Chains A and B, each alone.
Chain A
C-alpha cells in the first residue's frame, strides 16, 4: 500500500463505472487533471459493495470519495447501490458520493439526491470535457472542502 506515494499524498477514490470505454477516458483524464487520486475502479455495484465491506474491517482503506455511474446498467442498480451504502456503518456511509451520469432526467437526479448523494454531475461528451470535470472535482473536493475522516484511529 502507498508504494507509489511520491511528493503528494494519494487520495483513494472508488469509481463504479460499468462502461469500459468511459473508464478509459476517465482514467486518462484523472491521471492528468486529478493526479492525486488513486482510483480503484469496479464495473458493478456488487463489486463495489464487496470492496466497501472488506474495507470496513480495515477502515484506513476507506476511500475519500466515491464516483459512481447511475445506470449500472439500469438506474435501479445505481440507486440500489446508494441505498446499500447509506445503510452501512458510519465510516462508510458519510463518504461523499458524486454521481457521474449521462442522464439529465429529472427523476434520476431527484431520486439520487433523495437517497443521499452529495452531488450529481453530467458526464462530459469528449476527453477535453473529462479533463475539465476532473479538474473541477479535484479543486472542489480536495482544495475547497473539508472531507470527513474515513477512520478514527491510526
Chain B
C-alpha cells in the first residue's frame, strides 16, 4: 500500500473547511488532510513536527498571523521552504497576489464559489502538486533512499 498523500489546509472559515473535507471524503479519498484554523496553529505545529506534507493550501486572509506572514515564515525556514505552498483567497488584490509570489508562494488560487468549482479546483490542484510535481524529500527519521 502506498502511503496516502498528505496535505494541509489552513483556513479560518469553518464552513470552508467543512466543504473541503466533504469534497475530499467523497471525491479525493486518496489524500490525507490536516486542517488548521489559523496561521498560529500551523506555525505551532510546523515548528514541532518532522512531518512534511506534499502541499499546503494557505488562506491569504486570516485574523492574527495572516497568510502572507505564515508564507514568509515557511519560505525562510530551512526545511519547510521545500514544501509547496499554494495561496488561496476570494478577494485578494493584485498587490497582495504579487506580494505572495514575491514571498515565494508556489502559486495563487482564486477561491471558487460553489461546490462543483471547488471540487474541480481541488482535484486539479492536488493532481498537479501531488502527482505531476516532484516533491523534495525531507525525512530525518527514515533512511535515505
Q: A110-B82, A113-B82, A118-B106 are known contacts. Are A144 and B133 too (CB-CB below 8 A)?
A: no
**Which residues of chain B have C-beta atoms less than 8 A from A130's C-beta?**
none
Check if B132 sits within 8 Å of A109, measured CB to CB.
Answer: no
Encode B110-141 as 1/0 by CB contact (under 8 A) with A. 10000000000100110111001111111000
User: Looking at the complex, which one of B94, B108, B145 makes contact with A145 (CB distance below 8 Å)?
Assistant: B108
Chain B residue at minimum C-beta to C-beta distance from A146: B108
Interface majority SS on B: helix, strand, loop or mixed?
A: mixed
Q: Does B69 contact A (CB under 8 A)?
A: no
Check if B81 sits within 8 Å of A114, measured CB to CB.
Answer: yes
Chain B residue at minimum C-beta to C-beta distance from A119: B133
Residues of A74-99 at the interface with B, using a CB-CB cut-off of 8 Å, are 90, 93-94, 96
Chain B residue at minimum C-beta to C-beta distance from A117: B106
Chain A residue at minimum C-beta to C-beta distance from B83: A113
Q: A106-B145, A145-B109 are known contacts. Are A122 and B128 too (CB-CB below 8 A)?
A: no
Check if A110 sits within 8 Å of B124, measured CB to CB.
Answer: no
**Which residues of chain B have C-beta atoms less than 8 A from A106's C-beta?**
136-137, 144-145
**Which residues of chain B have C-beta atoms less than 8 A from A94's C-beta?**
98, 101-102
Min CB distance, B134 to chain A, in Å? 4
Q: How far, in whole Å, are A133 and B97 apart by their CA atoms in the complex?
A: 26
Chain B residue at minimum C-beta to C-beta distance from A120: B134
* Chain A interfacial positions (CB closer than 8 Å to B): 90, 93-94, 96, 104, 106, 109-110, 112-114, 116, 118-122, 133, 136, 139-141, 144-149
* Chain B interfacial positions (CB closer than 8 Å to A): 81-82, 84, 86, 94, 97-98, 101-102, 104, 106-110, 121, 124-125, 127-129, 132-138, 144-145
